[in-house]
């Protein structure tokens, strides 16, 4: 029984949303109740399945699904503790985002298409989380590109196609580098599983040149989705998508898939020791540092709320890369835990931006004046999310920054503190004016495009936002609790740095 469960569970976790997606397509545009209940049931089922899997992993089991495409080419889904971190995040945020999106798109068209691809997109994310080797990772990574395209073009106007085109050019271009890198690695070592500490350690000195090239090929492949400078240009342009898409893209799906890939690359394929031996850690660290500052500086100049949040993502996601590139256990904890923390805070901010735009038509920063009086709960959530991004305790962002800083000092790279400091100041510079406008400025006479929302709609929108805000504060406040992401990540990192 347990054997059976351990084999099929990873596949079930991935497929449950794919089946939901197909069901949604079949249910179609004209059966909204069936569609929504199918969607919610699948999201709940996914949370439960991921929960069961988490318990199994905690008990020391390794759920693993394996299917040989060809001799030497395995399709493998495996849940290790790092997978679980990402899987839990995706499953929970999918549920919340579904509730939010149902309310958000109440008045929109093409909802069957939207929710169908939304579910498929979560399938891809889950597959990336559980991929046991590079081939499987690549399969889901590309699936993610394809399934997010219809979401980005959802509005069907000229801007959304321009944004989607930029997105495709970047991601498909990157996939070329990724594919070459992956096949090259398969030539060198055969198809091996991800393993803590990497599997390339045994290769001799004569392969180091190839390994360096392959490393950069893969960094380009992952870096585009992770919005690493100079590959980030698609991200702000993809802001034309509806708010729930932006939220999921930024918090979980696309951007995180890239960052997660970089973590896998450094920790599970090469291993940090080898990265250091090859002299690749410093260039990666510099790239991440530059992206952090660059994204924040550009965010300062944006007048559109979503655009400012987008550049903030460019900056914040690189914290994850920064964490694994610094080296040493403490910084690695900071980087990996930011995977979760950034997700929670960013999804909150995008939810709020979506509510401002949907209910009142507020899209520009100078339209925010006095919105705190009109939408107090949403404004409160936005404020908490923004303060968390700046790194104010006890919100989650503080914990990440603390570990990153302490980790940098521990390995003797004190200058990273300056990067963190600069980023914090810039974060404050682009978020605090918003908070001032929200709470202190006088509201304008009329909102740009106020709609008469039903109670249920508002409840769905604000309820989902309050939930993510609560969790974002909770994981910071109870960071010491054995079930918090921080404790979980600390457990993971002890595998990497025994």
Partner 1 sequence: MVAEALACLVLVPVVAACLALVLPGRWRWLAVAAGLLPLPLAMAWLTGELGREGLITVAVAGFEAPLGIVWRLDGLSAVLVWLNIIIALLVGLHAAAHYPADKLNGFRFWPLWLLLSGAMNALLLSADLFNLFVTLELVTLAAIGLLVVDRKPQAMRAAVRYLLLALLGSLFYLLGVALVYGQTGTLDLYQAAGVLQPDLLGHTALVLMTVGLLVKAAIFPLHGWLPAAHGNAPGPVSAVLSAMVVKVAVYLVWRLWLWLAGDWAIPAGLTMLGLLGALAIVYGSLQALVQQRVKMIVAYSTVAQLGYLMLLFPLLGLVAFQATSYHLLSHGLAKAAMFLAAANLLTRLGTDQLGDLRGADRRMPLDVFTLALAGVSILGLPPSGGFIAKWLMLQTALAQGGWLWVGVILVGGLLAAAYLFRVLAVLCARPVACPELPVSGKADQLTSLVALGLALAALAAGFVPAPVLKLLATAWPLGGAP
Strand partners, 401: none
Element at 74 (helix H, strand E): strand 73-78
Q: How many helices (H) and strands (E) does the chain have?
A: 20, 2
153 binds partner 1 (CB under 8 A): yes
Q: Considering only 153-161, 198-206, 265-273, 393-401, which stretch makes contact with partner 1 by CB under 8 A?
A: 153-161
Q: Considering only 163-171, 283-291, 385-393, 399-407, which stretch makes contact with partner 1 by CB under 8 A?
A: 163-171
How crowded is the C-beta side of 454, counted as CA atoms within 13 Å?
9
Q: Closer to partner 1 at the Cβ: 163 or 372?
A: 163
What is the rounded distance in angstroms from the CA atom of residue 171 to the CA atom of residue 129?
A: 19
**Residue for token digits 């006479």?**
445
| Residue 241 CB, nearest approach to partner 1 (Å) | 13
Q: Considering only 37-45, 70-78, 216-224, 318-326, which stretch makes contact with partner 1 by CB under 8 A?
A: 70-78
172 binds partner 1 (CB under 8 A): yes
Q: Which of 11, 31, 74, 173 binds partner 1 (CB under 8 A)?
A: 173
186 binds partner 1 (CB under 8 A): yes
| Residue 84 CB, nearest approach to partner 1 (Å) | 24
Q: Considering only 8-16, 170-178, 321-329, 388-396, which stretch makes contact with partner 1 by CB under 8 A?
A: 170-178
Q: At what angle do helices 81-104 and 2-27 cross, to 10 degrees?
A: 20
Encode 83-108: b = buried (16+ Cβ within 10 Å), e = exposed.
bbbbbbbbbbbbbbbbbbbbbbbbee
208 binds partner 1 (CB under 8 A): no
**What does DSSP assign to residue 197?**
T
Strand partners, 68: 74
30 binds partner 1 (CB under 8 A): no
| Residue 73 CB, nearest approach to partner 1 (Å) | 8
Q: Closer to partner 1 at the Cβ: 52 or 146?
A: 146
Q: Closer to partner 1 at the Cβ: 71 or 498?
A: 71
Task: Say how far residue 405 (Cα) sits from the centre of its chain.
Answer: 22
165 binds partner 1 (CB under 8 A): yes
69 binds partner 1 (CB under 8 A): yes
Q: Which of 47, 58, 183, 477 binds partner 1 (CB under 8 A)?
A: 183
| Residue 180 CB, nearest approach to partner 1 (Å) | 7
222 binds partner 1 (CB under 8 A): no
What is the rounded distance in angstroms from the CA atom of residue 125 to the CA atom of residue 253?
A: 6
Q: Considering only 183-191, 221-229, 274-282, 420-428, which stretch makes contact with partner 1 by CB under 8 A?
A: 183-191
Q: Closer to partner 1 at the Cβ: 157 or 494?
A: 157
Contact 90, 125 (CB under 8 A): yes
Q: Considering only 173-181, 275-283, 410-418, 450-458, which stretch makes contact with partner 1 by CB under 8 A?
A: 173-181
149 binds partner 1 (CB under 8 A): yes
Strand partners, 70: 73
74 binds partner 1 (CB under 8 A): no
What is the rounded distance in angstroms from the CA atom of residue 199 to the CA atom of residue 218?
A: 15
203 binds partner 1 (CB under 8 A): no
Residue 335 neighbours by CB under 8 Å, 6+ apart: 263, 319, 320, 321, 322, 323, 324, 326, 400, 404
Look at residue 136 and give its three-state secondary structure. Answer: helix
290 binds partner 1 (CB under 8 A): no
Q: Considering only 33-41, 158-166, 253-261, 311-319, which stretch makes contact with partner 1 by CB under 8 A?
A: 158-166
Please give the structure tokens belonging to residue 302. Answer: 């944006």
Alpha-carbon Rg of the chain, whole angstroms?
21
363 binds partner 1 (CB under 8 A): no
Q: Closer to partner 1 at the Cβ: 141 or 403?
A: 141
What is the rounded distance in angstroms from the CA atom of residue 269 to the CA atom of residue 133?
A: 9
What is the rounded distance in angstroms from the CA atom of residue 142 to the CA atom of residue 128?
A: 10
Q: Which of 97, 175, 342, 468 binds partner 1 (CB under 8 A)?
A: 175
Residue 440: C-alpha distances to residues 309, 371, 372, 449 (Å): 21, 9, 8, 22
Q: Hey, how many other C-beta atoms are within 10 angstroms of the C-beta on 246?
A: 27
Q: Is the dihedral of CA 172, 13, 319, 324 positive or negative?
A: negative
Q: Which of 5, 47, 146, 444 binds partner 1 (CB under 8 A)?
A: 146
Task: Say how far residue 18 (Cα) sits from the centre of its chain.
Answer: 19
Q: Considering only 165-173, 393-401, 419-427, 466-474, which stretch makes contact with partner 1 by CB under 8 A?
A: 165-173
Query: Site size for partner 1, by CB under 8 A?
Result: 36
Catalog residues that contact partner 1 under the rule CB under 8 A.
25, 67-71, 73, 75, 110, 113, 138-139, 142-143, 145-146, 149-150, 153, 155-157, 161, 164-165, 168, 172-173, 175-176, 179-180, 183-184, 186-187
């Amino acid at each position: 029984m347990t054997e059976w469960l351990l084999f099929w569970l990873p596949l079930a976790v991935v497929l449950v949303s794919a089946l939901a997606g197909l069901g949604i397509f079949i249910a179609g545009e004209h059966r909204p109740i069936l569609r929504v209940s199918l969607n919610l049931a699948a999201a709940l089922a996914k949370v439960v399945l991921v929960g069961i899997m988490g318990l199994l992993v905690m008990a020391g089991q390794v759920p693993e699904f394996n299917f040989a495409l060809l001799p030497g080419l395995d399709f493998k889904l495996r849940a290790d503790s790092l997978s679980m971190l990402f899987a839990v995040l995706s499953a929970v945020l999918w549920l919340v985002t579904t509730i939010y999106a149902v309310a958000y798109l109440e008045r929109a068209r093409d909802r069957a298409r939207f929710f169908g691809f939304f579910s498929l997109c979560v399938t891809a994310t889950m597959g990336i989380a559980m991929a046991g080797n590079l081939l499987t990772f690549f399969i889901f990574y590309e699936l993610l590109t394809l399934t997010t395209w219809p979401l980005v073009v959802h509005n069907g106007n000229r801007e959304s196609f321009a944004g989607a085109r930029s997105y495709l050019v970047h991601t498909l271009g990157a996939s070329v580098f990724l594919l070459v890198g992956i096949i090259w690695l398969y030539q060198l070592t055969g198809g091996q599983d991800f393993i803590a500490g990497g599997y390339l350690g045994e290769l001799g000195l004569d392969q180091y040149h190839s390994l360096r090239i392959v490393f950069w090929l893969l960094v380009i492949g992952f870096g585009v989705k992770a919005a690493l400078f100079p590959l980030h240009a698609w991200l702000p342009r993809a802001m034309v998508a509806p708010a729930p898409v932006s939220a999921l893209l930024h918090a979980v799906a696309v951007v995180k898939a890239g960052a997660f890939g970089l973590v896998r690359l450094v920790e599970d394929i090469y291993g940090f020791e080898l990265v250091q031996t090859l002299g690749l850690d410093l260039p990666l660290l510099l790239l991440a540092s530059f992206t952090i500052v660059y994204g924040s500086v550009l965010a300062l100049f944006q007048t559109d709320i979503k655009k400012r949040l987008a550049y903030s993502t460019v900056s914040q996601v690189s914290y994850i890369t920064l964490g694994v590139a610094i080296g040493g256990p403490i910084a690695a904890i900071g980087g990996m835990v930011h995977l979760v923390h950034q997700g929670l805070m960013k999804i909150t901010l995008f939810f709020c931006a979506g509510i401002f735009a949907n209910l009142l038509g507020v899209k520009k920063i100078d339209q925010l004046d006095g919105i705190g009086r009109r939408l107090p709960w949403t404004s409160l959530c936005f404020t908490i999310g923004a303060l968390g991004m700046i790194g104010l305790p006890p919100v989650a962002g503080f914990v990440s920054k603390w570990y990153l800083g302490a980790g940098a000092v521990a390995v003797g790279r004190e200058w990273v503190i300056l990067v963190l400091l600069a980023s914090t100041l810039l974060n404050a510079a682009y978020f605090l004016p918003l908070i001032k406008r929200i709470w202190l400025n006088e509201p304008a006479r009329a909102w740009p495009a106020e709609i008469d929302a039903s109670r249920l709609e508002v409840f769905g929108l604000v309820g989902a936002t309050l939930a993510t805000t609560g969790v974002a504060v909770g994981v910071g406040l109870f960071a010491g609790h054995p079930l918090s992401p921080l404790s979980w990540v600390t457990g993971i990192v002890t595998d990497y740095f025994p």
